[in-house]
Structure 1
Amino acid sequence: MKRTKIKNALHAEAPVSEIRIGGWVRTKRDSKGFSFIELNDGSCLTNIQVIVDHTPEILAALERIGTGASVLVEGELVESPGKGQKWEVRGKSLNVLGEADQDTFPLQKKRHTDEFLRGIAHLRPRTNKYGAMFRIRSELAQAIHQFFKERGFFYVHTPILTGSDCEGAGEMFRVTSLEHGSRAPVEEDFFGKPASLTVSGQLEAEMFALSLGDVYTFGPTFRAENSNTPRHVAEFWMIEPEMAFADLRDDMDLGEDMIKYLVQHILDHCAEDVQLFGKWVDKTLMPTLETILREPFERVSYTEAIRILKKTKKTFDYPVEWGIDLQTEHERFLCEEKFKKPVYVYDYPKTIKPFYMRMNDDDKTVAAMDCLVPRIGEIIGGSQREERMDVLQARMREMDLSEEDYWWYLDSRRFGSVPHAGFGMGFERMLMLVTGVTNIRDALPFPRTPNHLEF
């Protein structure tokens, strides 16, 4: 008999005379002549109740069952007389697949702190909160592909191993095949040149946008930034669309459409899981998501944003002056207190942005934009790309970048260049937005941070 997922059993339209359910025991209650077992298989937030009579075989199995044990039950799906549940399983047989030592099993029927659960990341998906988180993560990933497919974008797999630094920050993990401590010249390494884990697939995506039109990448990226903030990890996922024949306005429009689409999709397909976060994690979550769907995003220039920040009476830890890179406290003030909704800040100073962003006519700013959302700050960073060969070369010289290293990138401007634009969205930050969690480590199955490479 094929196993039925608990999610499907709970949504059955009629009783089922023969059903097979597998899962992990949440609780067990013994009564006179029978026992109640709360079972969950990870397919949904809700447990299913199993009732088994005390036959000799079942009594023997019950003695081996505690919280965390895995079991397989065969029986009938029947209407439940209890409140809050439509169906329950009347078990005819109970097979213990794996016992759980009750003296050492760390997940008990109580609320555990997020910090404690990060230390047992291999088990935390069995909790209500993290089971919900990773079901939402799965659904959100599917929705991203659906969003771009509906708009005619092509999915491109860009390299994880790279010889170029897209952001120019130098915070990259080096990759080598040489033995640890080797003093051999880099020419003897696998690639014959320095290699790193990618910080972005953007440059390669641009090449495909200038061939296929509209494309996107969605994959892991890496930053060797020694940061322990709730917003940073060493390995994370990025969504990076690139559009040919597009400008900065098109870029902002796409980002706004995407965020609204993803929020609506999760509300439609993960309602029960999202409600858990709205009840137990952030009571402002649902109003925040409703505002995102209802209101158009605000759009202000960087210069105007600096004026607003300097004019307010609020005291910031980081002083505000034209030319600074906005800090999280500045970003959150703009979207949480000033405008009370997502905000696009555009036209940043060229001195704080990478070489590939299109120079504006004022020769001081570039056609860059960041999308800021409540609780998080920046969720999208993007720009119109510099399509003019001479201007791009001048910017590279300003930033001391070798044209020889980027010969292939310059070719795209040499042979049929067109205006184009794109952005990067942090996948985990999008998850933080739709769940209300405040630490990015709680949106990743196995977070990688400084001095932490467990699991």
Structure 2
Amino acid sequence: MNSKTVAQLLSQDETLQDVSVKGWVRTFRANRFIALNDGSTINNIQCVVDFENFDEALLKRVTTGAAIHVTGELVESQGKGQSVEIVVKTLEVLGDSDPETYPIQPRKHGFEFLRRNAHLRTRTNTFSAVMRLRSSLSFAVHKYFNENGFNYMHTPIITGSDAEGAGEMFKVSNLDAKNPPLNEDGSVNYKEDFFGKETNLTVSGQLEAETYAMSLGKVYTFGPTFRAENSNTTRHLAEFWMIEPEVAFMDLDGNMDLAEDFMKSVLGYVLENNKEDLEFLDNRLLQEEKTKPQAERIAMSLIEKIKFVVDNNFKRVSYTEAIDILRNSKPNKKKKFNYIIEEWGADLQSEHERFLVEKHFKCPVILFDYPANIKAFYMRLNEPDHEGRETVRAMDILFPGIGEMVGGSQREERLDVLKEKMKALDIDEKELWWYLDLRKYGTAVHSGFGLGFERLVMFATGMGNIRDVIPYPRTPQNAEF
């Protein structure tokens, strides 16, 4: 008899004489009712045991967390809360389970406790729902790009360049840490290292993706990236996943079109395919909000927030217009913002971004044409405006509740301009000779954007801490599991 998943059994429209299912025990009440879950759905299936037909020693082993295999008859449920249940004919405990030490008991656990037990936290409803949604979003990303003619590119994890210019990178070396080879000036001689040069874990695959876009046309990366930023905030990880499409012959307007269509598609996918998980997480968030002061509660439920993105056209606003709006806003004039907007050139904070989305425009917002001095060297330089201010063809997409979700730009395709920008920022041309080659051989307009996948998962699940949307978070002083 082939085993079925709990999800398959709960979706049955008719009773079945013989069914087989395997999973983990959530609860076992009154030596009669087993709540069984196998990870295929947030819902448990009830297995009804006639204890007179089973050995007492066997039933004592059916404890929370135990893996079991049951066979029986799928019948219409006599109780509330489920449409069908299994009348158990045979029951097998598949392995050992210590009820005294099993940490995931049928009660509410704090998230910090569950992070310490991350290898078992997907046994809870919240984390099983989060990780199913993460899986669905990942599939939706690949599905979208595949259906739109993109080639999937695996960019290097070990790199000799810093795409962002941040300098906060993890070094990769096999030199003897206690006795490395030294140059005459006392610095480490990386020519004797494995790669013959200083190398790091990548912060972005963008620069390499650009090289492939300029031959394959449309490419995307979706892989791990790393940043050695000593930050313990709820939005920072040392290891995270990035989605980065790059497209040849596409300008900033096309880039904004692509990003908007992409975001609506992947979020629309989970609205359609993860309804039960979203409803559970929506309710969890609602209960959490009830414990907060009225002034701190969010305006939209989780599902409303996702639909807010999927159903609305994104408003496109220049940085300059946004600054004027923020400077003249009530929160700014009454000094309610933590960061007061006083002049053009300010780097916008999450509070400003959320004001634009949630209060002023009441829809997702794409800001474009940012000041050149607050953006990366590879973004295309615009002609100075009427006041002589320099901007670049950058764009950020702002969402409710979280602020910036996507960052991108039209890339600088002019060799002379790119060289000047690199020189001004003291970026060595010799390190990026291959990147400059793209501007020598068949240069063309091209654009792309980056999206931190965990930030997308946070938005789609309503989770408040980025450590709770990745299986095993890597943060300062934490590399457990």
Q: TM-score, normalised to structure 1's length?
A: 0.96
On the 8 A contact 1:69/1:100 being kept in 2, the answer is: yes
Number of the residue aligned with 2:289: none
Tell me the CA shift for residue 341 of structure 1: 2.3
- 1:99, CA displacement in angstroms? 3.5
1:104 counterpart residue number:
101
Q: CA deviation at 1:142?
A: 0.6
Letter of the structure 2 residue corresponding to residue 140 of structure 1: L
CA contact (8 A) 2:422 2:428 kept: yes
List per-residue Cα deviations over 1:211-240 (Å, max 9, x = no partner): 011111101111111111111111111110
One-letter identity of the residue aligned with 1:23: G
Unpaired stretches in structure 1, ≥5 consecutive residues: none
1:82 aligns with 2:79: yes
**Structure 1 residue 251, shift from structure 2 partner:** 0.8
Q: Please state how far the C-alpha of 1:437 moved relative to its aligned partner.
A: 1.3
1:296 maps onto 2:313 in alignment: yes
Within the alignment, does 1:326 sit opposite 2:330 as a pair? no
Alignment deviations for residues 256-313 of structure 1 (CA, whole Å, 9 cap, x no partner)? 1111111110010000000111111256112212221221111111112122222123
Given the alignment, which residue of 325, 333, 337 partners 1:308?
325
The answer to whether the 8 Å contact 2:411/2:446 transfers is yes
CA distance in 2, matches of 1:319, 1:197: 36
Distance 2:326 2:230 in 1: 28
Q: How far does residue 20 in structure 1 lie from its aligned partner after superposition?
A: 1.5
1:340 offset after TM fit, Å? 2.5
Tell me the equivalent position of 1:164: 161
Pair 1:213 & 2:239 matched: no
Q: Which runs of 5+ in 2 are unaligned?
A: 182-188, 287-299
Alignment of 1:252-271 (within 5 A): 252-271=256-275
Counterpart secondary structure, 1:423: strand
For residue 206 of structure 1, report the CA deviation from its aligned partner: 0.5
Q: 2:366 aligns with which of 344, 349, 353?
A: 344
- One-letter code of the match for 1:352? I
The one-letter code matched in structure 2 to 1:453 is: A
Q: What SS does structure 2 have at the residue aligned with 1:390?
A: helix
**Deviation of residue 55 (structure 1)?**
4.1
Q: Secondary structure at the match of 2:281?
A: helix
Structure 1 segment 178-197 matched on structure 2, within 5 A: 178-184=175-181, 185-197=189-201
Partner of 1:236: 240
What is the letter of the counterpart of residue 316 of structure 1? F
Contact 1:373 1:379 in 2 (8 A): yes
| CA distance in 1: counterparts of 2:432 and 2:311, whole angstroms | 43
Q: What letter corresponds to residue 340 of structure 2 in structure 1?
A: P
What is residue 12 of structure 2 aligned with on the other side? 12
- Alpha-carbon distance between aligned partners in 2 of 1:385 and 1:292, rounded to the nearest angstrom: 26
Please say if residues 285 and 301 of structure 2, whose CA atoms lie closer than 8 Å, have aligned partners that are also in contact.
no
Number of aligned positions between the proteins: 452
Give the structure 2 partner of residue 155 of structure 1: 152
Instruction: Tell me, yes or no, if structure 1 residue 428 matches structure 2 residue 454.
Output: yes
Distance in 2, matches of 1:349 and 1:452, equals 37
TM-score calculated relative to the size of structure 2? 0.91
Asked if 1:396 corresponds to 2:422, the answer is yes
Check whether the contact 1:343–1:373 (CA below 8 A) recurs between aligned residues.
yes
- Residue-by-residue CA offset, 1:86-109 (whole Å, 9 max, x unaligned): 221111111112343222222222
**Take 2:156 and 2:16, find their aligned partners in 1: how far apart are those partners?**
49
Amino acid at match of 2:461: T
Separation (CA, whole Å) in 2 of partners of 1:210 and 1:137: 31
Quote the offset at 1:326 in angstroms: 1.5
1:37 aligned residue (34, 38, 41): 34
Q: Is the 8 A contact 2:20 2:72 kept in 1?
A: yes
Identity of aligned residues (%): 54
1:281 is paired with a residue of what secondary structure?
helix
Shift of 1:57: 4.0
Q: Tell me if the contact between 1:247 and 1:384 (Cα under 8 Å) persists in the aligned partners.
A: yes
CA-to-partner distance for each residue in 1:381-436, whole Å, 9 max, x for gaps?
A: 00000011111111111111111111111111100011000000111111111111
